[in-house]
Amino acid sequence: MIVTPGSVTLADLESIYREQRSVTLCPEARPAVEIAAKVVAQAAAGGEAVYGVNTGFGKLASQKIAPEDTEKLQENLILSHCCGVGDALSVPLTRLMMVLKLLSLGRGASGVRWDICALLEGMLASGVVPVVPHQGSVGASGDLAPLAHMAAVMTGAGEAVIDGQRMPGNEALAQAELTPVVLGPKEGLALINGTQFSTACALAGLFEAQRAVENSIIIAAMSTDAIMGSTAPLAAEIHSLRGHQGQIDVAAKMRALMAGSEIRESHVVDDHRVQDPYCIRCQPQVVGAALDVVRMAGRTLEIEANAVTDNPLVLTGEGRIVSGGNFHAEPVGFAADQIALALAEIGAISQRRVALMVDPTLSYDLPPFLTPNPGLNSGFMIAEVTTAALMSENKHLANPCVTDSTPTSANQEDHVSMAAHGAFRLMRMAENLSVIQGVEAMCSSQGVEVRAPLKTSDALQSVVDRLRVDVKTLTDDRYLAPDIQTAANLVRNGAFCEVVAHD
């Protein structure tokens, strides 16, 4: 994929993330990069102190560095900042982080040579993936530790993975026939200063949340049919009177999915129930609100993905190098917290539908715990408990991170965003949510099948059929954990979304 810095879309980024696509900058980006590099070279040759070019860093910014020590300054910066701990970031997330750094450098305000961009392109193309521990960033002054581990490999230090094998960075580059760089003035700082770790994790969380919304619409429609719920609350006028676009969109999609359902038509009249529980009736209001929040976060992250977030910045129009604070990941932290709330709430209402379907007092004649022989069999009894456990875990994980600032670096960096772990937790939340939704899909499919000979809509039947390829109907009790994981994988991989789109 050839990308233009400053113009990359969320769709582009999702494709890069999910398909692990290689990326090169458009040729038009090169002149701006080289002009900024010349400004830095001139500053390095001059006598004036310029932060990051010929000074120390952070609290040591007042320390002037001799010209002959410029390269050593950048090398020391990278090595000293490789202090990350914890499990390594996944390959797709690391590659996305590298792409985001490439996009930022390609804007021509960081002052690096084109060789730096070319090496990142080469690493992406040849599959050299730095080993980046996921803990160690507080999301201000950039994601210093994670990005330092990336930059270290570019210099031949650190560790990397290539073809599934973990090895020293210099060996990985050699295997890919790439040459390590010797960092020039400001280049080390440009590589490690920025929000690319936090933004990559937040983007991945966003993509998972978008898919979770789609799955929620599909599976909730199945659950509505399973308990013979009413579609009256999906009436378009109800939602247009309120006006929230997410709510309007969710209701419209559910109406379309349930159109033609024999199950629904069988109880339009003479149904003694007046209203369904909120988890059925208020699905558009709850998941629609989550969709609006996800869209809002997406706009923030699309801007951030195209932003220049290192420091100082090279203002080529003025020929100046100016210190600022674009490295502060507060926008990313807020976006991550918003996505976390959306994931938690999508899971909360999904779990209540699972509880509804297994409860014979509320499920409108579905068998207890959806088993044909209750008593001897427990059916989905403990599967529902599992969803409750994961729902509660996600509620705890959804607590805001961006408000938890703490001073660092001898109080020079006295307010930080905590965007890094705020964004990274989204992966765990999305995994938990996929299990909740997978169990709901299993329960709702079982419930729809109980309603035979009445049929659900063609669109929803295609989802039931897709699930049944890998997860069979539950008759007698069986070892259920593998089925739950399979259903969760179908949710997270978008299998249900694909069959509905095809239908």
Rounded to whole angstroms, what are the CA distances from 312 to 315, 423, 465? 9, 25, 56
The catalytic residues are 51
Scan for tokens 């599967």, then name that residue.
Answer: 383
Task: Please report the pLDDT score of residue 268 as a whole number.
Answer: 80
Task: Give the pLDDT confidence score for residue 502 in this predicted structure.
Answer: 76
DSSP, res 270: S
Predicted pLDDT of residue 63: 81
What would the pLDDT profile of 315-341 be if each residue is shown by its tens digit?
Answer: 999 999 999 999 999 999 999 999 999
**Can you list the residues of the chain whose pLDDT is less than 50?**
none
Say how far apart CA 258 and CA 280 lie, in whole Å.
13
* pTM > 0.85: yes
Half-sphere exposure in the Cβ direction for 346 (13 Å, CA): 37
Buried b (16+ CB within 10 A) or exposed e, 166-191: ebebeebbebbebebbebbbbbbbbb
